[in-house]
Chains A and B, each alone.
Chain A
Amino acid sequence: MSQITNRRAFLQVVGAVTLGGIAPAPLLAQQSKLRVGLMLPYTGTYAALGTAITNGFKLAVDERKGRLGGREIEYFTVDDESEPAKAPENTHRLVQRDKVDVLVGTVHSGVLLGMVKIARESGTLLICPNAGAGDATGPMCAPNIFRTSFSNWQTTYPLGKVLADRGLKTAVFITWNYAAGKEMLAGFQEGFAKAGGKLVKELLLPFPQVEFQPLLTEAASIKPAAVVAFFAGGGAAKFLTDYAAAGLKGKIPLFGSGFLTDGVLDAAGAAAQDVETTLHYGDGLSTPRNNAFRAAYRKSYKNLEPDVYAVQGYDAGLLLAAGMDAVKGDVSRKKELIAAMERARIDSPRGAWTLSKAHNPIQDFYLRKVVGKENRVMGVAHKALADPAIGCSMK
């Protein structure tokens, strides 16, 4: 590793000299590197997400010639295994052992809350590029804690109006019986009630079981106007195929939080067709900004297609860049750094967004429909949606 790092550093110096002519490198070299700690899942069920986020973040940094606020970056990575029991300890690894300036992580909500605890105690800057736990920008919010992804509540709240506008006034919600599922359920219920709909039944399955048949039978016997679901990864793929195989597809329309149809379209195939979801991103979002991002990502990572996780990681890089530019790389000016990040308008592939007072993105939520192997963006379901951030003292 040290050899590789040295070679990379050498190449960077060579690159700087040859490209820049009279390089400003000697001047900048006096400043130490910015220490960025990536605490993400690199093994286990969420490993693919951890890699996408890492790729996205590094792409944002590389687009700035590897420098934020004029400083080079040194990465420290820790595999959090999506294991909440080890979360505080793993965070300490980065904060105390590696003395990082910034923490970036993570995917699993339980692990994020462990990180939040340490970040609050140590005052280390924390940017969350995925986990949607409401608490992190709710009761646990803090000036040094930011999120560039979403809150669970946000991803399903816009669905309520979508359903009601189509005259679908009753719905059943199916999800795993755990915190993220329940928060998405609450978001949908609130939005649906506001739009005049009624949630007739919540069907909860122990996490992470995937035996959906009993719940589908139950849903079929209730005969609601619509079914709304949240599952992710393997569970989502299986849910979509089971829903179609049970003959419900085409009889009761299926909606969901966007994660239901993200990263699983290859696996779910025809069963996923026409399923509509709301999310802050869609792979097929055709804007010049997104197209440019996708091309750059493919170029950097051997034709790998970016996904919503890569975008969230990328935006974490953009947000940090905004702060670092404002203080010229001097992280000790923490107040100014945080103020600059709060003010930042992030020119994201998903569309520009700003932060709420609780440090969660105020962003557009798209209505997407599965067409072929793509989540096609059909329009904006809710413009500039902010999380209510209940319990946050910074409001």
Chain B
Amino acid sequence: MDYLIQILNGVQYGLLLFLLASGLTLIFGIMGVINLAHGSFYMVGAYLALWLTRLTGSLWLALPLGVLAAVALGALLEWALIRRLYARDHLYQVLLTFGLILVFEELRSLLFGNDVHGVPIPPALNFSIPLTETLSYPVYRLFISGVCLALAAAMYLVIRKTRLGMMVRAGNSNREMAQVLGVDIPLVFTFVFALGVALAAFAGMIAAPVSSVFPGMGNQILIICFVVVVIGGIGSITGAMVAALLIGIADTLGKVLLPQFSGMAVYLLMAVVLIWRPRGLFQAT
């Protein structure tokens, strides 16, 4: 029973990682841009949830408003900065987004201060299901998992079945050809970047009630998201899902079984996978 619960924990953590990593892998795979500031967008989302929940009194109202704000932020950043880096080496993307981390962190400090804040769980979901006599499972966490799964399915369908998805995939596999065929690449890229930012911010928003909202929260989760993306294979949504679950479970079991080495476990897993398959588990289509 205990191990089953631990695996449930791992899956649940993995699904949240997927939500964050999916935006990263889209930006990564379709646009070829390394975005170190992805963790900052997660933080932006959490602070948006805090601010908008206070303003509107409800997380349900805050979510759509926050997503709109995040889309606008993403589009603006793509237009003003990221666009200038497509033709350049990854190095420049790494450094520019590294600079953005510093900017976002200080802006957060200027606007919201440095205290720890909480966002209340919506009353309808604020209860737990008993699992054993001592342990229960919070329904809000199950809700997060459900949302993550629904979004994963939606993303899969959009990319596989729609014209938009086709354009996106075309942009990924052959930029010039797609452009010749009349796909407006700059517009698609703006859209993809905004979508990626919105996904990260959305993850931050729905996680805010359980994670609380605090300085530096994006940096902690950034690197682990990169691990997910790289293990899964850059640009692959399926890969990100498999890798996120793998990491979620490995990390959870590592903490229980080998606490001294659990910090290393995830990176060890990544190194082993990449040495075995240098382009990740699922190569992008």
Touch between chains A and B, by CB atoms below 8 Å: yes
* Chain A interface residues (CB < 8 Å from chain B): 43-48, 51, 177, 203-206, 208-211, 213-218, 220-221, 223, 233-234, 236-238, 241-242, 245-248, 251-252, 263-264, 266-269
Q: Complex Cα distance A234/B253, Å? A: 24
> Is B173 interfacial (CB 8 A cutoff)?
no
Contact of B116 among A209, A248, A267 (CB under 8 A): A267
A234–B212 CB distance below 8 A: yes
Contact of B255 among A214, A237, A241, A251 (CB under 8 A): A214
What chain B residues lie within 8 Å of A266 (beta carbons)? 115-118
What chain B residues lie within 8 Å of A236 (beta carbons)? 116
A220–B128 CB distance below 8 A: no
A43–B211 CB distance below 8 A: no
Closest partner residue, chain B, to A235 (CB atom):
B214
A213–B115 CB distance below 8 A: no
Query: Which of B23-31, B137-145, B232-240 forms part of the interface with chain A?
Result: B137-145
Q: Complex Cα distance A221/B212, Å? A: 26
B202-239 residues with Cβ-Cβ distance < 8 A to A are: 209-217, 220
Q: Complex Cα distance A204/B260, Å? A: 8
Known: A214-B256, A266-B117. 12 other contacts (CB 8 A): A43-B106, A177-B263, A211-B255, A221-B134, A233-B116, A234-B211, A234-B213, A241-B212, A247-B130, A247-B135, A264-B212, A267-B214
Contact of A246 among B117, B118, B137, B260 (CB under 8 A): B137
Q: Complex Cα distance A248/B262, Å? A: 24
What chain A residues lie within 8 Å of B136 (beta carbons)? 245-247
> Is B2 interfacial (CB 8 A cutoff)?
yes
> Is B13 interfacial (CB 8 A cutoff)?
yes
Q: B124 to chain A: closest CB distance in Å?
A: 15
A218–B256 CB distance below 8 A: yes
What chain A residues lie within 8 Å of B220 (beta carbons)? 208-210
24 A–B contact pairs at CB < 8 A?
A: A44-B105, A44-B216, A47-B114, A177-B259, A177-B263, A203-B259, A205-B259, A206-B263, A209-B220, A211-B251, A214-B9, A215-B256, A218-B2, A233-B116, A234-B212, A234-B214, A238-B210, A241-B210, A245-B136, A245-B210, A246-B128, A247-B137, A248-B135, A266-B118
A267–B2 CB distance below 8 A: no
Describe B's contact surface by its main secondary structure: helix
> Is B165 interfacial (CB 8 A cutoff)?
no
Closest partner residue, chain A, to B115 (CB atom):
A48
What chain B residues lie within 8 Å of A204 (beta carbons)? 259-260
B114–A220 CB distance below 8 A: no
What chain B residues lie within 8 Å of A218 (beta carbons)? 2, 6, 256
Counting chain B CB atoms within 10 Å of each CB, the highest count among A177, A204, A213 belongs to A213
Q: B196 to chain A: closest CB distance in Å?
A: 23
What chain B residues lie within 8 Å of A44 (beta carbons)? 105, 215-216
Q: Complex Cα distance A208/B224, Å? A: 13
Closest partner residue, chain B, to A247 (CB atom):
B136
What chain B residues lie within 8 Å of A206 (beta carbons)? 255, 262-263
Q: Complex Cα distance A238/B211, Å? A: 5
What chain B residues lie within 8 Å of A209 (beta carbons)? 220, 263
Q: A78 to chain B: closest CB distance in Å?
A: 17
A267–B117 CB distance below 8 A: yes
**Given A211-B251, A213-B9, A213-B12: A220 and B134 interface contact (C-beta under 8 Å):** yes
What chain B residues lie within 8 Å of A47 (beta carbons)? 109, 114, 215
Q: Complex Cα distance A177/B255, Å? A: 11
> Is B76 interfacial (CB 8 A cutoff)?
no
What chain B residues lie within 8 Å of A51 (beta carbons)? 114
B2–A217 CB distance below 8 A: yes
What chain B residues lie within 8 Å of A268 (beta carbons)? 118, 212
B106-132 residues with Cβ-Cβ distance < 8 A to A are: 106, 109, 113-118, 120, 128, 130, 132
Closest partner residue, chain B, to A206 (CB atom):
B263
Closest partner residue, chain A, to B13 (CB atom):
A211
What chain B residues lie within 8 Å of A48 (beta carbons)? 113-115, 215
B116–A234 CB distance below 8 A: yes
Q: B263 to chain A: closest CB distance in Å?
A: 3
Question: When A and B form their complex, which 5 residue pairs have the shortest distance between CB atoms, in order from nearest?
Answer: A234-B214, A247-B136, A267-B118, A206-B263, A245-B138
Q: Complex Cα distance A215/B259, Å? A: 10
Contact of B115 among A220, A223, A241, A263 (CB under 8 A): A263
Contact of A220 among B120, B132, B260 (CB under 8 A): B132
A213–B135 CB distance below 8 A: no
What chain A residues lie within 8 Å of B217 (beta carbons)? 234
Q: Complex Cα distance A255/B86, Å? A: 53
Q: Complex Cα distance A24/B215, Å? A: 47
> Is B252 interfacial (CB 8 A cutoff)?
yes
What chain A residues lie within 8 Å of B154 (beta carbons)? none
Q: Complex Cα distance A395/B14, Å? A: 52
B135–A217 CB distance below 8 A: yes
Q: Complex Cα distance A223/B132, Å? A: 11
Q: B46 to chain A: closest CB distance in Å?
A: 10
What chain A residues lie within 8 Å of B210 (beta carbons)? 238, 241-242, 245
What chain A residues lie within 8 Å of B253 (beta carbons)? 214
> Is B61 interfacial (CB 8 A cutoff)?
no
Q: Complex Cα distance A139/B115, Å? A: 34
